Structure 1
Amino acid sequence: MRRPVRLKEAAPQGTKVAVGALVVLVVGSLALVALDVAASPLGRRTVVAGLTVLVLMPALMLGQYAPPPYRLPYRWRWGLLLVQAVLTYLPLLLFNHRWLSLLGFLAGAVLLTLPPNTSVPLALAVGASGPLLVASGLIATNRSPLSVMLGTAITASTVFAVAHLALLAARLHSSREHAAHLAEQRERARMRQDLHDLVGSSLAAITLQGEAALRGGGPAAGPGQERAALTEIVALSRRLHDDVRSISRPDGGGLSLSEELAHAQRVLTASGVEVRTVLPPRPEAAPAVVGCLRFVLREAVGNVLQHSRATHCSITLRTDGTAVRLTVRNDGAEAAPPVPGRQGTGLAGLSGRVLALGGEFTAGAEDGTFTLTATVPRAGAGAGALVPRP
């Protein structure tokens, strides 16, 4: 069997690198500001208040910058942005140039939190506020307004780039997990459909042969009939075992159309159904076409055995320059009424298989005859043409 898809893999390396760089950027920058504030000639209470604010700032910043699954809801990030704006501008008037680098973090938070049409103008306004405060004399510093603006722009762009990288890496990881989950679901659906299509008819044939052996009579009544039925059951069981093993193989176990047709004819004949087959000499097809037609034929045979009392069945396989057509017709459409509570899904599954190759699928009853037809293009889904073997 195929190895199961692992849904929960380690986070991509890009996420760890981006988050680590973001933490170093925020904590390192605020640590430099804290050292500058601690060395300032301001009063003790003022310094302690500034250091307290700087201790709280990493939680505010990382709460806005963090990627999923640590990302806070949008309304929470709005609130943190307002608190960060207050803790950026009010202390700026007190600590002057020591607090200027926090303008870049505020501008980066604006770019990450607000929609693009709103965030860009506000981020530019935050970046321009520093030079305006310096030029107006409200902030005492020996740096020029241009230097302050460039420093704010560099910090804001760095914060935005690193946080955005972490967000993209987290989304990529989420997309990969979702794709792995879909692949697992599709694999399970494929196995369920394969079990239904490949195993159903064999189980139906085994059941019919077992019932015939228990009754001591059946379609082929005569001496040794019970032994013949048991022999057929053993053969069908071995074939069923091969079918189960072939489900894990994308080529369906490598069975040819000729072998599948021979098996269908043998199963129907053993169940008392007269069979007539029409097919090209030694047909061969690409794996996709073979797999599709095998499923169609197997489900059609299973329907004849389980849902009808047909006495005659014809199987026709034809090909022309553009398509391959399989037709299965039996005379038991009205012989056996449907059993309540046993609504099957096999025909819907077959229709999906044929449509996936760009073909057409029809099934219906008319005048007591049930006809199932599957037409698959020669180039359907990359499948090759049906050609005679040399």
Structure 2
Amino acid sequence: MRRPVRLEEAAPQGSKVAFGALAVLVIGSLALVALELTSSPLGRRSVVAGLTVLVLMPAVMLGQYAPPPYRLPYRLRWVLLLVQAVLTYLPLLLFHHGWMSLLGFLAGAVLLTLPPNASVPLALAVGVSGPVLSTTDLITTDRSPFSILLSTAITASTVFAVAHLALLAARLGAGREYTERLAEQRERDRMRQDLHDLVGSSLTAIALRGEVALRGDPSSGARESGREREREALTEMVALARRLHDDVRSISRPDGGALSLSEELAHAQRVLAASGVEVRTVLPPHVEPGPAVVGCLRFVLREAVGNVLQHSRAVSCEIALRAEDGKVRLTVRNDGAVPEDGPALPGQRAAGQHGSKRHGTGLAGLAGRALALGGTFAATAEDGAFTVTATLPSVPAVPRP
């Protein structure tokens, strides 16, 4: 039996090591600032206020830099970024050069939180603000503007690099779990086919022979008791054979006897969250599609999640399952579509485009599955978003052999 994946187990070892290094960097740097404050000629109240702010700063900073699955929601990171900006610039006017080292941490948080087109200019502005303030009467320091700029750039790049490596480690861990899940599904499909072709036919033959024996009529009273025992044994054999055959048929269901659709959705949420992608799920109050539909939707969801992990630059993903007018619609939308002049769109390599030799697991294979059940499948990329939609009848008609 497969052990369920828990969220706290989704953090790979690389993420834990990177987060530990970030914690040492943040706490160590703040400790140096605290030592400078305690040795400064400032009043007692000013020193206590500065130390109080420094005690709050680790929670604010680490909340910005934490990798998945400890990563905070995007809006909350925005709030923490604003709080960090206030706690960086306001005390700077009071503590002067002793507070300058915190500008690098603010620039690193900007690079990690904002989109690339906005984060780089703002991070540069934060880095330049230190040398500019040092040339005014607001800040008194004996350090040169170039020294302040260099130390800020080193701190910001270190914070960004370590936090980004932690995020990449989390995504690699999620991708590895996804690959293992696909391998497990392929092995299950192979075993299902073997059971159906070999064991199933044998059990059917046993059941037929038992029924033929049961139709025999005893012809001698002296052999009545032996015949009765044979009949009882044959009856038990037929019952066992039919029970085993039903078990084989349950394994050979179109959904593979594996996870239900709700369990597949829960697993997709865990995998995406562990890779740093925010997930929003919309589910109907109650829906019970047929086994074939469940199997097809599971394949669509698994392929869409794999595209997000392997081929996209997604930050958020929405999974919506709706049931109306006798149809079930699954929509997976992520904001990581690559431009037309850039690398392949999510699913292009999986669908066999650009010379890829994979067959049956990409978008073309999903379209074939949906069409075979009387449904439709669509994959579109527009406005920086990639959307996969599969619409199937709740109970598809069984095709004639």
TM range, smaller chain: 0.5 to 0.7
Tell me the residue number matched to 1:363: none
Give the structure 2 partner of residue 160 of structure 1: 160
Which residue number corresponds to residue 309 of structure 1? none
Contact 1:107–1:124 (CA<8 Å) still a contact in 2? yes
- Separation (CA, whole Å) in 1 of partners of 2:64 and 2:20: 15
> In structure 1, how many angstroms separate the alpha carbons of the residues matched to 2:74 and 2:13?
26
Distance 1:182 1:43 in 2: 64
What whole-Å deviation, never above 9, does each CA across 1:337-385 have from its counterpart, x for those lacking one?
xxxxxx999xx9xxxxxx97xxxxxxxxxxxxxxx9xxxxxxxxxxxxx
How many residues align? The count is 246
Superposed CA RMSD in Å reads 4.2
CA contact 1:127–1:153 (8 Å) conserved in 2: yes
The whole-number CA distance in structure 2 between the counterparts of 1:192 and 1:176 is 24
Q: Please state if 1:48 is matched with 2:48.
A: yes
| Unpaired runs of at least 5, structure 2 | 218-226, 253-289, 296-358, 361-400
Residue 148 of structure 2: aligned partner: 148
- Does residue 195 in structure 1 map to residue 195 in structure 2? yes
- Corresponding position of 2:79: 79
Deviation at residue 5 of structure 1 after TM alignment: 8.3
Which residue in the other structure is 2:38 paired with?
38
**Shift of residue 177, structure 1, vs aligned partner:** 1.9
CA deviation after TM superposition for structure 1 residue 190, in Å:
3.3
> Structure 1 157/26 Cα, relative in aligned 2: closer, same or farther at 3 Å?
same
What fraction of aligned residue pairs are identical, expressed as a percent?
A: 72
Report if aligned partners of 1:7, 1:180 keep a CA contact under 8 Å in 2: no
Aligned equivalents of 2:158, 2:191: Cα separation in 1: 49
Displacement of 1:6: 8.6
**Aligned 8 A contact 1:30 1:54 in 2:** yes
Query: Deviations along 1:79-111, whole A, 9 cap, x unmatched?
Result: 000000000000001000000000000000000
SS of the aligned residue for 2:135 comes to helix
Give the secondary-structure state (helix, strand or coil) at the position aligned to 1:136. coil
CA shift digits 1:40-67 (9 cap, x unpaired): 1111111100000000000000001000
Deviation digits for residues 8-33 of structure 1 (CA, Å, limit 9, x no counterpart): 77853322221111110000000000
Instruction: Give the partner amino acid of 1:122.
Output: L
Residue 214 of structure 1, CA deviation = 0.5
- The alignment's TM-score, normalised by the length of structure 1, stands at 0.55
The within-5 A match list for 1:289-300 is none
The separation in 2 between residues aligned to 1:112 and 1:344, in whole angstroms, is 43
- Residues 44-53 or 165-174, more deviating: 165-174
Question: 2: CA distance between counterparts of 1:61 and 1:157?
Answer: 15
Once the two structures are superposed, the pairs formed by residues 84-103 of structure 1 within 5 Å of their partners are 84-103=84-103
**Which one-letter code corresponds to 1:45 in the other structure?**
R
Give the aligned partner of residue 121 of structure 1.
Answer: 121
Q: Is the 8 A contact 2:134 2:145 kept in 1?
A: yes
Q: Which amino acid aligns with 1:46?
A: S
Q: Work out the CA distance in 2 between the residues paired with 1:88 and 1:24.
A: 19
Distance 2:75 2:186 in 1: 37
* 1:229-249: CA deviation from partner (whole Å, max 9, x where unpaired): x99xx9xx99xx9xx9xxxxx
Q: What secondary structure sits across from 2:141 in the alignment?
A: coil
Residues 129-187 of structure 1: CA deviation (Å, up to 9, x unaligned): 00000112321011000000001000000000011111111111122222223333333
Letter in 2 for 1:192: R
> Structure 1's 35 and 6: CA in aligned 2 closer, same or farther, altered over 3 A?
same
Q: Deviations over 1:182-239 (max 9, x none)?
A: 333333343333322222211211111111001018xxxxxxxx99xx99xx9xx99x
Q: Secondary structure at the match of 2:170?
A: helix
Does the CA contact (< 8 Å) of 1:4 and 1:184 recur in 2?
no
Query: Distance between the aligned counterparts of 2:83 and 2:140, measured in 1?
Result: 24
CA contact (8 A) 2:10 2:69 kept: no
In the alignment, the residues of structure 1 paired with residue 97 and residue 210 of structure 2 have an alpha-carbon distance, to the nearest angstrom, of 93
Q: Where does residue 172 of structure 1 map in the other structure?
A: 172
CA contact (8 A) 2:104 2:156 kept: yes
Residue 18 of structure 1 aligns with an amino acid whose one-letter code is: A
Q: Name the aligned partner's letter for residue 26 of structure 2.
A: V
Task: Output the amino acid matched with 1:52.
Answer: T
Equivalent residue, structure 1, for 2:374? none
SS of 1:173's equivalent?
helix
Give the match for residue 58 of structure 2: 58
Bigger drift between 104-113 and 7-16 goes to 7-16
Question: Does the Cα contact within 8 Å between 1:92 and 1:100 map onto a contact in 2?
Answer: yes
Q: What is the alpha-carbon distance in structure 2 between the residues aligned to residue 52 and residue 209 of structure 1?
A: 85
Matched to 1:67, the amino acid is P
CA distance in 1, matches of 2:183, 2:206: 34
Structure-1 residue corresponding to 2:215: 215
- Residues 60 and 80, structure 1, Cα contact 8 Å, conserved in 2: yes
* CA–CA distance in structure 1, aligned partners of residues 170 and 10 of structure 2: 11
Corresponding residue number in structure 1 for 2:307 = none
Q: Give the counterpart letter for 1:108 in structure 2.
A: G
Partners of 2:10 and 2:174 within 8 A in 1 = no
Question: Which whole-Å CA distance do the structure 1 matches of 2:17 and 2:24 have between them?
Answer: 11
